[in-house]
Chain A
Amino acid sequence: MSDVAASKIPVTVLTGYLGAGKTTLLNRILSENHGKKYAVIVNEFGEIGIDNDLIIGADEEVFEMNNGCVCCTVRGDLVRIIDGLMKRKGKFDAIILETTGLADPAPVAQTFFVDEDVRDKTTLDAVVTVADARWLSDRLKDAPEAKNQIAFADVIVLNKTDLVSKPELAEVEARIRGINPYAKLHRTERCQVALNDVLDRKAFDLDRILEIEPEFLGESDGHDHDHDHEHDHHDHGHDHAHGHGQGGLKHYHDEDMKSLSLKTEKPLDANKFMPWLQALVATDGQSILRSKGILSFKDDDERYVFQGVHMMIEGDHQREWKADEPRLSKLVFIGRELPEQKIRDGFEKCIA
């Protein structure tokens, strides 16, 4: 990473439905003895008790770019606030942006893709979604915003786990995984989570798209389900998302929001793949919330990685494939009513 990139200020987006515990998590982050200074952008200025020197009230003004395409919405207030905050660079190490409970994270993320000034100065670190273990299952049924926030997340803090029974917890986790099997999930009471689990994640850094594997429950958080299951799931790769009730673990299809993963050991034709991906996000970008991929192209010794939000895609060569590394191409899409067969067929045609 160059010095210029290293000096970019990381921005963590904190989202979650009303009452899930965003402010609790924010205050935990700020009160912890980490020696870092944060600039905090909140939506309800001055109405909640947050103890921090640099607090900025935001208006969540979502602007449409490019003549009103809904896939190109950005947060205009964020552009202005980051411009103003940068006058004080050196006074803080990172920015935490709290959205309202009803906000769609996409315009925030897209701001970091489209706006050149924001891109020059800051980097989107991760979308962290706080979810209420007790009420999330209900909200996923009646609040599309809550579902968006889960689907969009890089990190999910499943809070208030002390208010539910074990079966209830398993139920809500399975519902989360039915939508987004890729986010890191942490179970918490009163948002007690290690800071390095929510901050400095570099989830949008192309250099960090090392592996695209579903995140399974109980990997490192001391959960009580047995190792065989985990192993089993790893072996099954993406099939997992489509098998129900494997080994006693619940799995759900969400009716409209799901993930789709594609994999091939055959090299792809870059001249076919890139136009296909661009055409796909141009036509179906509205359905695709997040996308990521690690690609192996024919006659190319370097891994190509990309990631995207709705219609916006960024990609680059990452590094050379290692000698002992299988040259697999893997893609993941998370979205609403994904045209699964169309995506699978299109992808097949990109094989060289």
Chain B
Amino acid sequence: MTSFNSDNPASIVSVTDRTLKIELPQAATALHFLGDSAGFVGVEDSVSFAAVSGEVSTHDIHGGGILCTVSDGKRIVTGGDDGKLVTVDASGATETIATDAKRRWIDNVALHPDGAIAWSAGKTAFVRPTKGDEKTLDVASTVGGLAFAPKGLRLAVAHYNGVTLWFPNMAAKPEVLEWKGSHLGVTFSDDNKFLVTTMHEAALHGWRLADNRHMRMTGYPSRVRSMAWTADGKHLATSGADTVIVWPFVTKDGPMGKEPAMLAPLKAKVTCVACHPKSDILAAGYSNGMVLMVRMQDGAEILVRRDDDAPVSALGWNAKGSLLGFASENGDAGLLPL
């Protein structure tokens, strides 16, 4: 397969006829697979699970906007502007994990592989371990993002002017990684060697955790809202440009002094990225509604969804890598069995 000009869909390999249309009751803000069930998290109130049969079941989980969501493949956890933190499984069984005392917005949520949950409201980060008491940490400004480190119970709390690294079960003063500006999303590399944030400015910032050396990743035309680590954990794919920007974390220096790969250029902005869980393939959604599958090695592209002007708002793979799902801001959604 070769790379074709994807601005001209007629010339590209297409699997659009193999996608299954899913009817959602509303626009989706995120997609998490629980097994083969595609959980489309709505912009408000509900989550809809879609099966490969096309059957959709919708469950009310919030009384208002859904602001943040995360999944470990077994359950989806969401935070809402109703001040609630809710978990839902594939059967639609829901449980309210926490309700903010002041009914503040739950802005961020993170899940630890062992089942611990972290969330934030305003300047306060909360951690509920699998055993033991709930812990809280107040940072200097509103929490922009949360991520658990892959090892140990350690939480990264992104905020204005940096990231606080907190061991909730230890009395030690949390470590602060400083960098001027507002830090929003945050993610650890799988090997626990790097920490990367998306910033309010159109840039990423990173730290090499061994020595807290800074890594500036700039050049984006707009803010990065979606990042995904590749299956081998050695590359970070990002939205925000008119190509998928993929930063290498192969060596001990990470992306320092290296150019990122720029894949799948279109005359539209990448809004969502999702990496295949096993192969060297990623999916990208664009501001014009197009969805492409891209082979990272050579940039070869396959058209999954044609453009229709509504930006792609949710994108995801199931854990086996046999299903790709997507949804756009106008509420259209689909599944592609591979």
- Could you list which residues of chain A lie within 8 angstroms of chain B, going by C-beta atoms? 45-46, 56-57, 59, 61, 63-68, 76-77, 79-80, 84-85, 87-88, 115-117
B198 within 8 A of A: no
B223 within 8 A of A: yes
Do A87 and B182 have beta carbons less than 8 Å apart?
A: no
Most B CB atoms within 10 A — which of A46, A80, A85? A80
Q: A68-B180, A77-B142, A79-B200 are in contact. Are A116 and B222 (CB under 8 A)?
A: yes
Q: Tell me the B144-169 residues at the A interface (CB within 8 Å).
A: 144, 160
Do A56 and B105 have beta carbons less than 8 Å apart?
A: yes
Do A76 and B65 have beta carbons less than 8 Å apart?
A: no
Do A85 and B65 have beta carbons less than 8 Å apart?
A: yes
B111 CB to nearest chain A CB (Å): 21
B124 CB to nearest chain A CB (Å): 12
- A-chain residues with CB within 8 Å of residue B103 when the two chains form the complex: 46
- For this complex, 28 residue pairs linking A to B, each with C-beta atoms less than 8 Å apart, are A45-B102, A46-B103, A56-B81, A57-B104, A59-B123, A59-B141, A61-B142, A63-B181, A64-B180, A66-B201, A67-B180, A76-B141, A76-B182, A76-B200, A79-B200, A80-B142, A84-B65, A84-B67, A84-B81, A85-B65, A87-B29, A87-B43, A87-B66, A88-B43, A88-B44, A88-B81, A115-B200, A116-B222
- A-chain residues with CB within 8 Å of residue B142 when the two chains form the complex: 59, 61, 76-77, 80
B144 CB to nearest chain A CB (Å): 8
- B-chain residues with CB within 8 Å of residue A46 when the two chains form the complex: 102-103
Do A76 and B160 have beta carbons less than 8 Å apart?
A: yes
Do B102 and A116 have beta carbons less than 8 Å apart?
A: no
Do A87 and B123 have beta carbons less than 8 Å apart?
A: no
- A-chain residues with CB within 8 Å of residue B301 when the two chains form the complex: none
- A-chain residues with CB within 8 Å of residue B201 when the two chains form the complex: 65-66
- B-chain residues with CB within 8 Å of residue A116 when the two chains form the complex: 222-223
A9 CB to nearest chain B CB (Å): 14
Docked pose: A266 CA to B64 CA in angstroms: 57
- B-chain residues with CB within 8 Å of residue A115 when the two chains form the complex: 200
| Chain B 195-218 interface 0/1 with A at a Cβ cutoff of 8 Å (1 = within) | 000001100000000000000000
From B64, B104, B144, B180, A88 is in contact (CB under 8 Å) with B64
B122 within 8 A of A: yes
- A-chain residues with CB within 8 Å of residue B222 when the two chains form the complex: 116
Interface size of B by Cβ–Cβ distance < 8 Å? 26
- B-chain residues with CB within 8 Å of residue A57 when the two chains form the complex: 102, 104, 122
Q: A59-B123, A59-B142, A68-B180 are in contact. Are A88 and B65 (CB under 8 A)?
A: yes
Q: A84-B65, A87-B65 are in contact. Are A59 and B160 (CB under 8 A)?
A: no
| Chain B 126-150 interface 0/1 with A at a Cβ cutoff of 8 Å (1 = within) | 0000000000000001101000000
B242 within 8 A of A: no
Docked pose: A76 CA to B223 CA in angstroms: 14
A112 CB to nearest chain B CB (Å): 15
Do B180 and A80 have beta carbons less than 8 Å apart?
A: no
B313 CB to nearest chain A CB (Å): 10
B268 CB to nearest chain A CB (Å): 15
- A-chain residues with CB within 8 Å of residue B104 when the two chains form the complex: 45, 57
Docked pose: A139 CA to B144 CA in angstroms: 36
B36 within 8 A of A: no
Do B102 and A87 have beta carbons less than 8 Å apart?
A: no
Do A84 and B44 have beta carbons less than 8 Å apart?
A: no
Knowing that A65-B201, A116-B223 touch, tell me 11 more A-B residue pairs with CB under 8 angstroms: A45-B104, A46-B103, A59-B142, A61-B141, A63-B200, A66-B201, A84-B105, A84-B107, A87-B43, A87-B44, A88-B65
Docked pose: A85 CA to B81 CA in angstroms: 9
- B-chain residues with CB within 8 Å of residue A65 when the two chains form the complex: 181, 200-201
**Which residue on chain B has the smallest CB distance to residue A66?**
B201
**Which residue on chain B has the smallest CB distance to residue A85?**
B65
Do A63 and B160 have beta carbons less than 8 Å apart?
A: yes
- A-chain residues with CB within 8 Å of residue B141 when the two chains form the complex: 59, 61, 76
Docked pose: A61 CA to B43 CA in angstroms: 25
Docked pose: A16 CA to B181 CA in angstroms: 29
Docked pose: A88 CA to B67 CA in angstroms: 10
Q: What are the nearest 4 A-B pairs in CB distance?
A: A87-B65, A87-B43, A88-B65, A63-B182
Docked pose: A77 CA to B65 CA in angstroms: 17
A252 CB to nearest chain B CB (Å): 40
| Chain B 12-44 interface 0/1 with A at a Cβ cutoff of 8 Å (1 = within) | 000000000000000001000000000000011
**Which residue on chain A has the smallest CB distance to residue B143?**
A80
